[in-house]
Chains A and B, each alone.
Chain A
Amino acid sequence: MQHLWLIPLLPLTGFLINGLFGKRLPNFLVSLIAVVSVALSFGWVLKTLSALGPLETAYVERYYTWFQSGALNVGVDLAVDRLTAIMLLVVTGVGLLIHIYAIGYMAHEGGYYRFFSYMNLFMFFMLTLVLGANFLLLFVGWEGVGLCSYLLIGFYTLKKSAGDAAKKAFIVNRIGDFGFALAMFLVVVNFGTLDFQKVFDAARPMPVEQSAGLLTAIALLLFVGATGKSAQVPLYVWLPDAMEGPTPVSALIHAATMVTAGVYMTARSAVIFERAPVAMDVVAVVGVITAAMAATIGITQFDIKKVFAYSTVSQLGYMFIACGVGAFSAGVYHLVTHAFFKALLFLGAGSVIHALGGEQDLRHMGGLMKKIPITFGVLACAWLAISGVPGFSGFYSKDEILMAAHHSSPWIYWVGVVTAGMTAFYVSRAMFLCFFGSYRGHHHPHESPFVMWGPLAVLAVLSVIGGWYFQVPHYLAPMFPLAEGAHDETLVYISVAFGFGGIALAYLMYVVSPGIPDAISNALGPIYRLVYRKYLVDELYNAVIVSPLVNGSRTVLWRFVDAGLIDGIVNGTATLSRTVGGMLRLFQSGSIRSYAAWVTVGCVVVLVALGVMAGGAQ
């Protein structure tokens, strides 16, 4: 027994303590409890992994039956294999750093205990998600992290926009979960179990489906879930809005861990996806569209967090490209490096925002390099990593994905390369606007405290060396065999060239001659505005889905069907009875003497009738 349950339960304990008593505890104790619970969890992960050794096969611990109905038995079972091991390290490791960072970032915010208890709850659900040994336990984590995301996006409860964003995130995620749930129903109907091992063992001998079949249906439905959680087209709309939450939340949930759950789940279900090529194609195409589309929007945004949010959407698209072309390990590889550099980007952005007293607009920044040098230094590492500069972590994983894409279908590679160029461009743009030139804001910038830049430094190191130090594809080789075929050097050069090209172009446009961007946006006119307004997707959804649904429900269903039709019939029946009764009531005058008169009349009538009949009988 390795007591895997301790890993998620430690943060849960932190949540319970802070949630129940946090209001009465001093802030330092609250943060201590939160950080220590995650640190212990991280420590337990390290201890467990070292004890379990190479993990050639999955290590499973079964605790108790969650529910049993007929043949269906769902257990609370936790399992560790190499994929989970990587996820555990990322989640607890990066999670720990972000928790520490948050001590500084949230120091002056209200609801301190609430923030940390939600964060711990998030850790619990995220760890359940990666440790769960069956689809349903994964789903528990899946919905749970969605809940925490909801709570944390809406953390600033007084802001209406935060509440709206939180609700949107939850509901869009629910649409994804709908797909995931349907996939589970299909799995149970056809395999009789939800246990990963049993389902995959049963699916492995099944033939590859050339046209759409059962496995394709399951894979596609699972992917619907992934598009919700991992913000892919068409369900990506919630993630940019999610930036309403505090920055550590954006870093932890909306960059490093939760949004990658879809990638994890796809990789976890690789056995099913591999046998459903149609679904794989869909995954790849959605990934490509998302990556490219989000990158174009990212170019036009001025809110520093929005830029990074669209960048996250775009990078997640990359991961799905990897999954779609069958390079699951490359996808997970990018997941890991992305967790490092994107968490760093967000935390760095948070540090900038902190320094500027809450300013998020790039147009009001500039020239901060000298004022907050440490933040600039660490952000530079992330910048180079995401731009794919050789030697930095992003380079390795992106390279891996693009290779696999080229191997599968070259057009994906080319779109990917162009997107990489755009990525380099918009991140550089943000960096130049923020740190170069002259300061355009009013607030007096100040460097962040050690408790904030300490974790940044660690992440910076990881962003630099994480790529070659953690050889994820090799580690995952027993699960996902390494791709064969020659490593084409030319392709690498091309993608690196695009990356540098993007940086250079941004340098030209935002440092050398800052007039160019306006000229271009004016020249493009409507196209620029369309992209700037995010292709009007939100407006489209609103007009096509939300408003008709709400208005239709109000006017047609409620007022017409319910109040008009059904209640009309019901009340109509009542009115009818009343009318008929009203007529009969005239007899029921309430005056006993009139009754007596009627009785007498009745008797006379009866007597006469009897007499007539008797007369007739004679």
Chain B
Amino acid sequence: MNLLNLVLALPLAGFLVTLLLPKNNSHAIRLFSLVVSLAVFVLSLGLTAPFHATGNGNWFVTDVPWIQSPEIRYHVGLDGLSLWLVLLSTLLTPVSILVSWKYIDRRVKEFYAFLLLLEFGLIGVFVAWDLFLFYVFWEVSLVPMYFLIGVWGHERRIYAAVKFFLYTMAGSVLMLAGIIFLYNKAGTFDYVNLVDLLQRGRLVLTSQEQLLLFLAFFVAFAIKVPLFPLHTWLPDAHVEAPTAGSIMLAAVMLKMGCYGLVRFCLPMFPQAAHQCQSWIVILAIIGIIYGALVAMVQPNMKKLVAYSSVSHLGFVVLGVFSFNQNGLDGAVYQMLNHGISTGALFMLVGYLYERTHTLEIKDYGGVSTPAPMLATVFLITLLASIGLPTLNNFVGEYLVLQGSAAVNFNWTVAAAVGVILSACYMLWLYQRVFVGETNKDLSHHHPFLDLNGRELAAAVPLLALMVWMGVYTKTFLPVVSAANQRIIEQSKTGVETLVEKQGGKRIAELRELIHGR
């Protein structure tokens, strides 16, 4: 039982125990889940230890059989790519719990149980090294989110939840087909094995097979990212979800797609990835500009932030499909940045909603006068989100654009327009909500209160990270860089061996080779 297994098991245990707690003692349930999630977070901090000591590698590996036939293994491990994403999940779960403290007042037990189950699924996705296990976690994370939106959401929650579920399922079924195809071809679900076989030319996919497999995986991930034009589930899901759901969805769940692209699409199907590069990049750039423009005209705050996510994640895809160190580093860094800053934005929008029960921008105005602290925190978050240097997003965006500039400068020019537009929609939002004369209707029923201690406690860690990640990247980036270097190597050699050994060995031989190992 190494630390990673513990980090993975604790939320699951927490989920089960929460279900056993008496239903009417809400406070105990909240407290319990908070304690569990904090414990998970503290434990997960320990995961960083080996990385500081020795740099990159695969850590905390557990590889035991789970199902004999077909051979599915419980194979989990951690490398530089997954490390920070796991920490992002473990950090944002307690934050979400804190945010929901007062907000969720019905079916409290189920809510916190689902949050813990969600955490379990998310961590699992990022650490699973067996394709089947990955798929299982992928689906496990889907279910609690479906309920979070469907049960605790706003008016159109059922529509949004079903849309979210079906969109994701449509993609993940394709991915499942791809996984099964790979298993039939290679006789293993093990990611490390598969990449190794592909690397050494022992598993050869024809270019058509590779293209189809790539697309099967890609579509699943692209829906989750979400990439234009597969994004329309996102605004609905965000608008309808409760605050905690929005935070987890934006901050962590979208990263599942980005992570999948880097982890699976690049090293396993490099040739197809290269083939599709320009198409995907064009979609990403359309997403960047389109998301920003549509965000600009949204009357609803959550929708605005949701569309801004479409724009931001376009940068991630652009970086990934630049296939170079700068682009990939930027993309992964941007995943974390987006998690922090957009998570915080959703949190703050949630705070506003709790006070006024409206998300329409026009119902606000001049909030900075009654709530200066809220305004300040919002402004810092917003500045991070639009990529102000010294705050986190800047480094990611810069590296992504730098990476794309090395491939095709026109891409960079087009994508950088998104940076201008981000300032437009965000500042306009800030101005309409916080600046000017205070809207009389705001404090109609209750005085409009500034942040309280609990709300601030949820916000401060995120603010601190924004500055930390923007100023001192040494803590985070080298680990990511090292992992990306390996992925770039893999996707390069993959291309070469593919060209050399086109039409090589057949399935039976491969089966032997694998079972002989």
Contacts and interface: CB of A to CB of B under 8 A. Distances in A.
**Does B associate with A?**
yes
A67 B477 contact: yes
Given A70-B326, A163-B436, A570-B232, A553 B409 contact: no
Given A553-B293, A566-B232, A143 B388 contact: yes
B431 interface: yes
B451 to A, nearest CB: 14
A562 B330 contact: no
Contacts of B478: 68
B228 to A, nearest CB: 9
Contacts of B290: 557, 561
Contacts of A177: 419
Give the one of B324, B473, B478 with max A CB within 10 A.
Answer: B473
Contact of A553 (B296, B369, B477): B296
A557 B293 contact: yes
B446 interface: no
Contact of B474 (A65, A154, A163, A553): A65
A139 B389 contact: yes
Contacts of A144: 388-390
A427 interface: no
A185 B404 CA distance: 9
A181 B163 CA distance: 39
Interface in A180-203: 181-182, 184-186, 188-189
Interface string B403-431: 00110010011001101100110011001
Given A178-B419, A557-B290, A72 B369 contact: no
Interface string A547-562: 0011011100110011
A567 interface: yes
Given A69-B399, A170-B427, A558 B417 contact: no
Contacts of A189: 402, 405-406, 409
A570 B390 CA distance: 41
Interface string A535-579: 000000000000001101110011001100011001000100000
Contacts of B435: 154, 157, 160, 163
B402 A185 contact: yes
B325 interface: yes
Interface residues of B, number: 56
Contact of A158 (B390, B401, B409, B437): B437
B369 A157 contact: yes
B28 interface: no
A66 interface: yes
B383 interface: yes
Nearest to A140: B389
Given A140-B390, A171-B427, A553-B294, A147 B405 contact: no
B284 interface: no
Contacts of B513: none
A282 interface: no
Given A68-B481, A181-B401, A550 B326 contact: no
A18 to B, nearest CB: 13
Nearest to A66: B473
Contacts of B405: 185-186, 188-189
B147 interface: no
B368 interface: yes
B420 A174 contact: yes
Interface in B283-302: 290, 293-294, 296-298
Interface in B408-467: 409, 412-413, 416-417, 419-420, 423-424, 427-428, 431, 434-437
Contacts of B424: 171, 174
A557 B294 contact: yes
Nearest to B326: A69
B79 interface: no
A310 to B, nearest CB: 25
A136 B387 CA distance: 13
Nearest to B397: A181
B229 interface: yes
Given A69-B325, A140-B389, A558 B420 contact: no
A181 B389 CA distance: 12
A562 B423 contact: no
Give the one of B163, B366, B423, B424 with max A CB within 10 A.
Answer: B423
A469 interface: no
B330 A69 contact: yes
Contacts of A71: 325
B137 interface: no
A129 to B, nearest CB: 11
A67 B298 contact: no
A184 to B, nearest CB: 8
Nearest to A570: B232
Contacts of A338: none
B315 interface: no
Interface string B362-397: 000010110000000000000100001110001100
Contact of A160 (B368, B402, B436): B436
Interface string A192-223: 00000000000000000000000000000000
A175 interface: yes
A178 B166 contact: no
B329 interface: yes
B398 interface: yes
B92 to A, nearest CB: 23
A163 B330 CA distance: 33
A566 B290 CA distance: 13
A181 B330 contact: no
Contacts of A570: 163, 167, 232-233
A308 to B, nearest CB: 26
A488 to B, nearest CB: 44
Contacts of A229: none
A484 to B, nearest CB: 39
A67 B389 contact: no
Nearest to B290: A557
A167 interface: yes
Interface string A474-493: 00000000000000000000
B326 A157 contact: no
Interface in B343-375: 366, 368-369
Nearest to B389: A140
Contacts of A160: 435-437
A143 B294 CA distance: 25
Nearest to B406: A189
B297 A558 contact: yes
B409 to A, nearest CB: 7
Give the one of A157, A175, A189, A552 with max B CB within 10 A.
Answer: A157
A94 to B, nearest CB: 24
Contact of A549 (B163, B293, B366, B388): B293
Give the one of A139, A552, A562, A567 with max B CB within 10 A.
Answer: A562
A550 B296 contact: yes
A140 B470 CA distance: 11
Given A69-B477, A157-B368, A185-B401, A554 B409 contact: no
20 contacts: A68-B481, A69-B402, A69-B477, A69-B481, A70-B329, A72-B402, A136-B389, A140-B389, A157-B368, A157-B434, A158-B366, A160-B435, A174-B423, A178-B416, A181-B416, A185-B402, A185-B412, A549-B296, A557-B297, A570-B163
Interface of A: 64-72, 136, 139-140, 143-144, 147, 150, 154, 157-160, 163-164, 166-167, 170-171, 174-175, 177-178, 181-182, 184-186, 188-189, 549-550, 552-554, 557-558, 561-562, 566-567, 570, 574
- Name the 9 nearest CB pairs between A and B, nearest first: A70-B325, A185-B405, A553-B293, A554-B297, A140-B389, A67-B473, A163-B435, A69-B329, A174-B423
Given A171-B427, A181-B398, 14 more contacts: A67-B399, A69-B325, A69-B326, A70-B326, A136-B389, A143-B388, A177-B419, A182-B416, A186-B405, A188-B402, A557-B294, A557-B297, A562-B294, A567-B232
